[in-house]
Amino acid sequence: MNLGLYAAATTALAAQGEGAVEPVLKRLETEAVSEKTDVRTLETVGSALVAMNAREQAARLEALVLKVPAGKNADAVKRSLMSVIGSLRNPKSEGFLLRALTDANLQEAAFTALARLGSPTGIARVKAALENAKENGNEDLADKLNRALQEK
């Protein structure tokens, strides 16, 4: 797939505004459950939702995370969806993201999404994880959490 062309088409669709939300969501859903999904495609389609400020669709993406089939790509697909959820900045997503912290494979993505959300509880959890990472000498995680806090 020519990702540049795909990105241009997705951007054009996003420019159509609210009326294009449903087709973009359908494409995201199709990609997320495909075992051949390229995560870059998910990120491109997800960025269109963010550009459309489709905040109210976050719950639909949360449900989609739970539908991702097991497979070699599953965690990467889930992390990509969680990134979009965080970028949509819907405060109602906080509970979902806090629960995702219990999954070691999704924890980093959940922390980043919580930082983007910007809620006091989420930021407090990210800061606590940052301090814990520093105390345990996990510099890689500390750097990622620090970046997540700066991105918000």
* DSSP code for 72: T
Average pLDDT over residues 137-143: 92
Instruction: Give the integer Cα–Cα distance in Å for 70 and 33.
Output: 9
Helix axes 39-51, 3-14, angle to 10 degrees: 20
- Which of 77, 115, 113, 118 is CA-nearest to residue 96? 113
Q: What is the dihedral of CA 34, 35, 36, 38, to 10 degrees?
A: 80
> Exposed e or buried b for every residue in 53-88, given b needs 16+ CB within 10 A?
ebeebbeebbebbeebeeeebebbbbbbbbbbbbbb
CA angle 117, 120, 122 (to 5 degrees): 55
- Which of 28, 36, 34, 142 is CA-nearest to residue 84? 28
CATH fold for domain 3-151:
Leucine-rich Repeat Variant (1.25.10)
Read off the pTM: 0.87
pLDDT band, very low/low/confident/very high, at 12 (cuts 50, 70, 90): confident
User: Could you report the per-residue pLDDT of 27-80, keeping only the tens digit for each?
Assistant: 889 989 988 888 888 888 898 899 888 999 999 999 999 999 998 899 999 999
- Which of 18, 6, 73 is CA-nearest to residue 44? 6
Instruction: Give the integer Cα–Cα distance in Å for 139 and 130.
Output: 9
